[in-house]
């Protein structure tokens, strides 16, 4: 074969590696696939199928060094060689750093993954401070192949734009499908004619996403999260006004001598801030300066100083009104930022800072209100409609907005996305929805307090498994009662019996095979029946099961109080787990202990003291409540 033909894919790969915009990265990747005669539809999606073909066809030293890195990461046992989530289809809303990094995890797990991004450009020059584990993570994925300067020496930061470019390239190589200029609007529930979860996107007639079915939907769309069903809580602190600005880096000798300020606060270096105030009348609480593709500054300014310098026109107690566009004089904001930059870099009077351009083609300077930050109340939900379940989750700024000047945005963002990938894995493994939610929400409780100091420090061992990262992990911190509302199902436990198979007739889960013959029990419940009808049927169903154990639930209310009815239900399905004859009606405490041990040890039910208490209490409540509790156990038995 002629040399130029052999070399062409490698040359195209080089173009792809060096591409620096959203558009050119996507185009060069399309070119590469075309030249390699790769047809996505033919090779299929997920299971790392595209990646496997690329690694066999691209053999330059640069590509090989990249494959070596990705292959090493891909060997982590959670991924099961790219088959762990082979039947899972994920849709991620937002191609910010967190959405893209999550897409990489989904691809490594073997899922089909589609990312939609409403913008057509990566234009944020602003710089993210990176925690040490994030640097290790990115290096392990081959970030330096795409950006040689990444994390050289003491540099622990990267522009948002550059990070997106790196992650986009890795995601594409791993088979993630990414569509720009596509806005997620809302989910579409499954119906009889269209039996899968889909979404409304704009443009409505997009050739791929408009017909894409998925069972995992993740909101990675920044602070203005667009996924419905998630509540956010506002955390209000004292007024904090952040200013970010970016100036063109001409790489002159003078600029090369500017010293970075990795974060200095007034309380630690009052002299710096006092001198700044004396010389410029600018009063700041802290400042960060990073030299990157641009000169990037982020500072927290005192309100009075902004009023004195004419940046803010009028004082208002409400932060939103105070920083409203019509109350800010943009030219004065630019002057304010330039004066601070001039002082912080000790630049000469001849040197003039020139603003870089932002997304809108104007000077890249912005003022933010950090007074109120939003956290999602919950990280996940599982919704079931017409027998189809979907796991929904939030990551990144959608989940937890951090105070950037402390540099926690990417650090916490990456932690949260790994936790989400772990929940996707559990969901894909058909764990019971309540169990998936208990674990996800328990881990989420640790996120906001996590710092580089209180998390594990062997970064090479980090994986999506939270146990590899959090020091004091209790994955059952939440109780089922606390998260039950996050499982929104239009189905109630229904059981069918056919040829010794137990089937949940209203879900798409894989049926569990049993070898033992079961007593015939009422099967399909009317989907349009009212609650009383359903409960009556459930009670009948319970009665029928326990009948053979000489237990009558309706007449003998003690049957639940001493746990015999519960144990009978378990024994009916799993006689191997419980020696029913050994239970004594007059020893309720010991019966409950046996029951809880089985639930915890054998059925892996997330059962803790709070749940135990609520179960015991529910035994004293209505028959419907008792049946509801038993149905949790039964569902667990089925899956
Ligand atoms: P983002 O980076 O915000 O990405 C969300 C993506 O979702 C965006 O690309 C958006 O276009 C897309 N999107 C939104 N809605 C939809 C939709 N309906 N359909 C499709 N796509 C959608 N952190 C710092 O540490 N330092 C800084 O200086 C700094 N500056 C920032 C400046 C701005 C303007 C913003 C918005 C954030 C800044 N941050 C900064 C925060 C930092 O960018 C985030 O913590 C980090 O990028 C992780 O964010 P993310 O991926 O969760 O979301």
Residues 566 and 461 in one domain: no
Annotate 132-153 with DSSP letters as a single string: HHHHHHHHHTTHHHH-TTTT-T
Pocket test for ligand 1, best of 160, 164, 183, 299 (most atoms within 8 A of CB): 160
Instruction: Examine residue 429 and state whether it is found in any structural domain, yes or no.
Output: yes
CA of 409 to the centre of ligand 1 (A): 10
CA of 181 to the centre of ligand 1 (A): 16
Instruction: Examine residue 486 and state whether it is found in any structural domain, yes or no.
Output: no
Residues 521 and 583 in one domain: yes
Residues 276 and 191 in one domain: no
Residues 153 and 224 in one domain: yes
CB atoms within 10 A of CB 75: 10
Instruction: Examine residue 621 and state whether it is found in any structural domain, yes or no.
Output: yes
Instruction: Examine residue 379 and state whether it is found in any structural domain, yes or no.
Output: no
CA of 160 to the centre of ligand 1 (A): 8
Task: From the CA of 128, give the closest atom in ligand 1.
Answer: 25
Please tell me the distance from the alpha carbon of residue 323 to that of residue 330, in angstroms, as a whole number. Answer: 11
pLDDT of residue 612: 63
CB of 221 closer than 6 angstroms to any ligand 1 atom: yes
Interior CA angle at 42 toward 40 and 47, to 5°?
Answer: 70
Task: From the CA of 119, give the closest atom in ligand 1.
Answer: 11
pLDDT of residue 492: 45
Continuous segment of H or E residues that includes residue 14:
helix 3-18
Residues facing 128 on adjacent strands: 158
pLDDT of residue 519: 39
Instruction: Examine residue 103 and state whether it is found in any structural domain, yes or no.
Output: yes
Q: Is 94 left (phi over 0), alpha (psi -120 to 50) or beta?
A: left
Interaxial angle between packed helices 588-597 and 609-619, expressed in degrees from 0 to 180 and rounded to the nearest 10: 130
Please tell me the distance from the alpha carbon of residue 243 to that of residue 328, in angstroms, as a whole number. Answer: 12
Q: Is 250 exposed, middle or buried (0-12, 13-18, 19+ CB in 10 A)?
A: exposed
Residues 475 and 504 in one domain: no
Please tell me the distance from the alpha carbon of residue 570 to that of residue 96, in angstroms, as a whole number. Answer: 47
Question: Would you state the structure tokens that stand for residue 464, as one six-digit string?
Answer: 């999506």
Burial string for 278-304 (b: 16+ CB within 10 Å, else e) reads eebebbbbbbbbbbbbbbbbbbbbbbe
Domain boundary among 427, 454, 480: 480
Continuous segment of H or E residues that includes residue 263:
strand 261-265
Residues 450 and 337 in one domain: no
* Integer Rg of the chain from CA: 29
CATH classification of the domain holding 610: 1.10.418.10
Contact indicator for 422, 437 with CB cutoff of 8 Å: no
CB of 116 closer than 6 angstroms to any ligand 1 atom: yes
**Helical H runs in 147-244?**
160-173
Q: Which residues contact 97 (CB under 8 A, 6 or more apart)?
A: 128, 160, 163, 164, 167, 396, 410, 413
pLDDT of residue 303: 96
Cβ contacts of 60-65, under 8 Å, gap ≥ 24: 60/10, 60/13, 60/14, 62/13, 62/14, 62/17, 62/145, 63/10, 63/13, 65/142, 65/145
Contact indicator for 522, 544 with CB cutoff of 8 Å: yes
Where do the DSSP E strands lie in 23-180? 89-93, 112-116, 127-129, 157-159, 177-179
CA of 337 to the centre of ligand 1 (A): 22
CA of 626 to the centre of ligand 1 (A): 46
CA 594 from centre of chain: 37
CA of 97 to the centre of ligand 1 (A): 8
CA of 215 to the centre of ligand 1 (A): 24
CATH classification of the domain holding 45: 3.50.50.60
Please tell me the distance from the alpha carbon of residue 4 to that of residue 14, in angstroms, as a whole number. Answer: 15
Pocket test for ligand 1, best of 138, 171, 222, 228 (most atoms within 8 A of CB): 222
Q: Which residues contact 443 (CB under 8 A, 6 or more apart)?
A: 379, 419, 422, 466, 470, 473, 475
How many separate domains does the chain show? 3
CB of 137 closer than 6 angstroms to any ligand 1 atom: no
CB of 117 closer than 6 angstroms to any ligand 1 atom: yes
The closest residue, in CA terms, to atom 12 on ligand 1 is 94
pLDDT of residue 505: 31
Contact indicator for 91, 214 with CB cutoff of 8 Å: yes
Q: What is the ipTM of this complex?
A: 0.97
Residues 162 and 21 in one domain: yes
Residues 16 and 110 in one domain: yes
Continuous segment of H or E residues that includes residue 573:
helix 564-573
Residues 607 and 592 in one domain: yes
Scanning the structure block, which residue is given the tokens 């993740």? Answer: 218
CA 459 from centre of chain: 20
Task: From the CA of 395, give the closest atom in ligand 1.
Answer: 52
CB of 401 closer than 6 angstroms to any ligand 1 atom: no
Of all residues in the chain, the percent with pLDDT exceeding 70 is 83
Residues facing 394 on adjacent strands: 219
Residues 413 and 342 in one domain: no
CA of 96 to the centre of ligand 1 (A): 6
Residues facing 363 on adjacent strands: 357
Euclidean distance between the first and the last CA atom of the chain, given in angstroms as a whole number: 55
CB atoms within 10 A of CB 163: 26
Contact indicator for 165, 184 with CB cutoff of 8 Å: no
Of 161, 143, 126, nearest to 21 by C-alpha is: 161
Instruction: Examine residue 228 and state whether it is found in any structural domain, yes or no.
Output: yes
Instruction: Examine residue 393 and state whether it is found in any structural domain, yes or no.
Output: yes
Residues 470 and 495 in one domain: no
CB of 358 closer than 6 angstroms to any ligand 1 atom: no
Please tell me the distance from the alpha carbon of residue 204 to that of residue 158, in angstroms, as a whole number. Answer: 35
Question: Would you state the structure tokens that stand for residue 454, as one six-digit string?
Answer: 């209180």
CA of 335 to the centre of ligand 1 (A): 26
Instruction: Examine residue 14 and state whether it is found in any structural domain, yes or no.
Output: yes
CB of 98 closer than 6 angstroms to any ligand 1 atom: yes
Domain limits for position 393: 3-232+389-480
Residues 342 and 430 in one domain: no
Residues of the chain where predicted confidence (pLDDT) is lower than 70: 1-7, 405-406, 491-539, 553-561, 602-639
């Amino acid at each position: 074969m002629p040399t130029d033909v052999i070399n062409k894919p490698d040359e195209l790969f080089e173009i792809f590696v060096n591409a620096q915009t959203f558009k050119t990265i996507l185009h060069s990747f399309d070119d590469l696939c075309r030249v390699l005669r790769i047809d996505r539809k033919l090779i299929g999606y997920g299971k790392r199928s595209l990646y496997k073909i690329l690694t066999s066809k691209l053999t330059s030293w640069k590509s090989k060094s990249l494959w070596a890195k990705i292959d090493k990461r891909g060997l982590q046992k959670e991924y099961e060689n790219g088959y762990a989530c082979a039947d899972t289809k994920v849709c991620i809303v937002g191609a910010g750093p967190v959405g893209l990094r999550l897409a990489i995890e989904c691809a490594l797990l073997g899922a089909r993954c589609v990312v939609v991004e409403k913008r057509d450009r990566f234009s944020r020059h602003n710089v993210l401070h990176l925690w040490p584990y994030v640097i290790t993570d990115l290096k392990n994925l081959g970030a330096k192949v795409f950006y040689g300067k990444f994390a050289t020496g003491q540099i622990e930061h990267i522009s948002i734009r550059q990070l997106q470019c790196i992650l986009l390239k890795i995601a594409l190589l791993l088979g993630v499908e990414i569509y720009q200029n596509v806005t997620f609007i809302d989910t579409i529930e499954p119906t009889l004619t269209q039996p899968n979860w889909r979404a409304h996107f704009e443009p409505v007639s997009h050739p791929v996403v408009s017909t894409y079915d998925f069972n995992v939907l993740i909101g990675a769309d920044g602070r203005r999260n667009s996924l419905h069903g998630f509540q956010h809580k506002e955390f209000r602190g004292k007024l904090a006004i952040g200013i970010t600005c970016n100036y063109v880096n001409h790489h002159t000798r003078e600029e090369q001598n500017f010293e970075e300020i990795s974060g200095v606060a007034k309380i630690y270096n009052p002299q710096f801030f006092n001198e700044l105030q004396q010389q410029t009348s600018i009063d700041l609480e802290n400042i960060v300066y990073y030299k990157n593709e641009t000169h990037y500054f982020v500072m927290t300014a005192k309100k009075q100083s902004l009023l004195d310098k004419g940046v803010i026109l009028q004082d208002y107690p409400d932060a939103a009104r105070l920083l409203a566009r019509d109350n800010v004089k943009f030219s004065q904001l630019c002057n304010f930022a330039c004066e601070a930059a001039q002082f912080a870099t000790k630049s000469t009077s001849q040197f003039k800072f020139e603003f870089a351009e932002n997304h809108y083609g104007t000077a890249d300077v912005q003022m933010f209100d950090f007074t109120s930050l939003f956290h999602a109340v919950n990280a996940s939900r599982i919704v079931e409609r017409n027998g189809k379940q979907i796991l929904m989750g939030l990551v990144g700024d959608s989940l937890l907005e951090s105070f950037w000047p402390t540099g926690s945005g990417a650090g916490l963002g990456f932690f949260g996305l790994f936790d989400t990938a772990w929940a996707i894995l559990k969901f894909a493994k058909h764990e019971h929805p309540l169990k998936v939610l208990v674990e996800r929400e328990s881990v989420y409780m640790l996120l906001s307090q996590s710092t580089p100091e209180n998390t594990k420090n062997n970064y090479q061992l980090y994986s999506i498994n939270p146990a590899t990262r959090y020091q004091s992990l209790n994955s059952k911190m939440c109780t089922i009662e606390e998260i039950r509302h996050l499982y929104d199902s239009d189905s109630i436990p229904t059981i069918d019996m056919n040829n010794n198979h137990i089937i949940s007739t209203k879900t798409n889960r894989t049926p569990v095979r049993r070898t033992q013959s079961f007593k015939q029990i009422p099967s399909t419940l009317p989907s349009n029946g009212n609650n009383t009808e359903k409960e009556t049927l459930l009670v009948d169903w319970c009665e029928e099961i326990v009948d053979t154990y000489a237990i009558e639930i309706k007449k003998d209310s003690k049957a639940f109080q001493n746990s015999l009815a519960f144990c009978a239900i378990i024994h009916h399905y799993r006689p191997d787990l419980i020696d029913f004859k050994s239970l004594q009606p007059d020893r309720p405490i010991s019966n409950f202990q046996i029951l809880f041990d089985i639930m915890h040890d054998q059925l892996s039910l997330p059962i803790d003291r709070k749940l135990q208490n609520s179960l015991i209490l529910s035994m004293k409540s209505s028959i419907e409540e008792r049946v509801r509790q038993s149905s949790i156990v039964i569902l667990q038995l089925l899956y």
